[in-house]
């Protein structure tokens, strides 16, 4: 046995550079282990990574695809970042996004004839309202009887795709397209009118409107938290609800509004899926994408900072995009999933190192008599 003793020791102070640099360090460690895996499975890590990087960021059209993949993650990332910050474990971003998409599709189809200037804002508002409505259920039970929102939001995540599936596949509801030729082969939802398709900016690199909206929301969230009375109440309640009550802050109201706002952000993410991407409700696509869960990882990677969420979402969006475009015999989907998982694992683990450090020292030996 080595006469070395390894111990976790609580850091008395966290150096200011440590917080932002840890996730980056974690990503490098994950990439290194990923390289080992690539190497042991008979692939050249250098070409593997350069393929991924090109597919994510540098190939023609790659940035556009990455921005599109990142857009829902910006919103669900903000959902988790806002809620987790105040101790609300809202892991229902997935369901809230789906209901937001349902509400936005409803408004797009119903109000599409009024022109883009009315119907697009209406879709955003409807998406936010739909998400908030799905968040109201767990928020109400948490406030009324202290029901754990982890359970309720998780269960509602299973309920949302069932509801969407019922509306589109299992019933002849208002949302289902019963007329177009394609819909006769396979059931599908009504498509929103062309006028309500969300705008795209740029020629070579097309930036979807939803991505811009996401950046705007992140900046808005940061400004509200830092400069307004409401933001101050949120930050105090997040730090110590007891101190909030003591100072006359209505902390219960703060909890509920934050819960609803966080759910509304996911709902806007759902609206952007309709307006930017699929133009009609696609229950299966939304269900398999699991944007809500990836959003939690994005928020952790960003350390719950709204601006960093955008960057983290872009990074993870790049991986998702590379995943989709590279999958094949050369780079199976599973392998890229492993690398993505490693990154998230190490980022989560690195949070501990912000608060603790590992101390190695020689075991003290009895003095020579």
Partner 1 sequence: MLGVISCMKTGRKSELPNAELALEDPEVRLRNSALAARGITKAFPGVVANDRVDFEVLKGEVHALLGENGSGKTTLCKILTGFHQPDEGQIYANGKPTRFPTPASAFEAGIFMVHQNFSLVGPLSVAENVVLGWTQTRNWRFDKRKVEEQVFAAAKKFDMSIDPRATVSTLSVGEKQKVELLKALYRGAKTLILDEPTTVLTPQEAKQLFASLRRMAEEGEAVIFISHKLDEVSEVCDHVSVLNQGRPAGMANLREQRVDAQSLAKLMVGRDIHLRRKETTGLKPDAGIVLEIRNLNSVDSNGSAKLKNISLTVREGEILGIAGIAGNGQRAFAEAIAGLHLYGGGEIRVKGAALSSGNVRRSIEAGVAYVPQDRLGTGLAPGMTISENISLKSYRSVTHSVGPILRKKAIRDDTCRLLAEFDIKGQESSLVRQLSGGNAQKVLLARELTSDPNLIVVATPTRGLDVSATETVRDLLAQAAVRGAAIVLISEDLGEILDLADRIAVICAGEIQGIVDAEGAEIDAIGMMMLGKGSKENDSAAA
Site for partner 1 in 237-276 (CB under 8 A): 239-240, 242-248
**H or E segment to which residue 356 belongs:** strand 356-362
| Residue with Cβ nearer partner 1 (158 or 356) | 356
Nearest approach, Cβ of residue 144 and partner 1 (Å) = 17
Neighbours of 36 (CB within 10 A): 10
Q: Please choose, out of 146-154, 190-198, 231-239, 256-264, the segment that lies near partner 1 by the rule CB under 8 A.
A: 231-239
Distances from the Cα of 35 to the Cα of 50, 57, 68, 100, 126, angstroms: 12, 19, 27, 39, 45
**CA atoms of 270 and 129, how far apart (whole Å):** 11
| Residue with Cβ nearer partner 1 (155 or 243) | 243
CB-CB contact of 72 with 293 (8 Å)? no
Q: Please choose, out of 93-101, 156-164, 214-222, 225-233, the segment that lies near partner 1 by the rule CB under 8 A.
A: 225-233
| Residue with Cβ nearer partner 1 (137 or 260) | 260
Nearest approach, Cβ of residue 14 and partner 1 (Å) = 10
**CA atoms of 158 and 142, how far apart (whole Å):** 19
Nearest approach, Cβ of residue 255 and partner 1 (Å) = 16
Residue 114 contacts partner 1 per CB under 8 A:
no
Nearest approach, Cβ of residue 129 and partner 1 (Å) = 22
Read off φ and ψ for residue 364, nearest 5 degrees. -75, 130
Nearest approach, Cβ of residue 9 and partner 1 (Å) = 8
Neighbours of 337 (CB within 10 A): 13
Kindly tell me which residue out of 228, 330, 333, 356 binds partner 1, with binding defined by CB under 8 A: 228
Read off φ and ψ for residue 362, nearest 5 degrees. -70, 135
List the x/- string, 347-366, binding to partner 1 by CB under 8 A.
Answer: -----------------x-x
CA atoms within 13 A on the CB side of 13: 3
Nearest approach, Cβ of residue 358 and partner 1 (Å) = 14
**DSSP letter for each residue of 152-215:** HHHHHHHHHHHHHHIIIIIS--TTEE-SSHHHHHS-EEPBPPGGGSPPEE-SSSPEEHHHHHHH
| Residue with Cβ nearer partner 1 (179 or 364) | 364
Is 9 strand, coil or helix?
strand
Nearest approach, Cβ of residue 216 and partner 1 (Å) = 19
**How many chain residues interact with partner 1 (CB under 8 A)?**
20
What is the binding site for partner 1 (CB under 8 A)? 12-13, 227-230, 232, 235-236, 239-240, 242-248, 364, 366
């Amino acid at each position: 046995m080595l006469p070395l003793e390894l111990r976790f020791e609580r850091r008395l102070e966290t150096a200011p550079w440590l917080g932002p640099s840890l996730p980056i360090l974690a990503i490098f460690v994950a990439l290194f282990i990923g390289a080992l895996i690539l190497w042991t499975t008979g692939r050249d890590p250098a070409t593997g990574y350069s393929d991924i990087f090109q597919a994510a960021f540098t190939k023609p059209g790659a940035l556009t695809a990455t921005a599109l993949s990142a857009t829902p993650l910006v919103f669900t990332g903000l959902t988790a970042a806002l809620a987790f910050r105040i101790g609300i474990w809202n892991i229902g971003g997935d369901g809230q996004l789906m209901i937001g998409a349902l509400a936005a599709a409803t408004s797009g189809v119903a109000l599409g004839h009024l022109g883009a200037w009315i119907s697009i804002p209406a879709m955003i508002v409807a998406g936010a309202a739909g998400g908030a409505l799905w968040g109201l259920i767990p928020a109400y039970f948490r406030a009324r009887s202290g029901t754990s929102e982890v359970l309720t939001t998780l269960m509602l995540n299973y309920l949302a795709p069932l509801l969407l599936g019922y509306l589109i596949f299992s019933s002849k509801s208002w949302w289902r397209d019963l007329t177009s030729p394609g819909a006769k082969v396979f059931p599908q939802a009504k498509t929103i009118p062309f006028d309500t398709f969300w705008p795209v900016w740029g020629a070579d690199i097309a930036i979807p409107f939803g991505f811009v909206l996401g950046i705007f929301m992140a900046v808005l969230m940061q400004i509200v938290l830092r400069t307004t009375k409401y933001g101050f109440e949120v930050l105090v309640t997040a730090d110590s609800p007891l101190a909030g009550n003591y100072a006359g802050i209505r902390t219960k109201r703060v909890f509920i509004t934050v819960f609803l706002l966080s759910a509304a952000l996911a709902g806007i993410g759902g609206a952007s899926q309709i307006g930017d991407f699929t133009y009609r409700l696609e229950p299966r696509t939304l269900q398999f994408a699991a944007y809500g869960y990836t959003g939690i990882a994005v928020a952790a990677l960003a350390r719950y900072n709204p601006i960093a969420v955008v960057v983290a979402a872009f990074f993870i969006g790049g991986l998702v995009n590379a995943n989709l475009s590279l999958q094949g015999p050369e780079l199976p989907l599973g392998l890229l999933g492993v690398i993505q998982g490693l990154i998230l694992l190490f980022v989560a683990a690195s949070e501990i190192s912000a608060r603790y450090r590992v101390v190695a020292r020689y075991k003290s030996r009895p003095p020579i008599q």
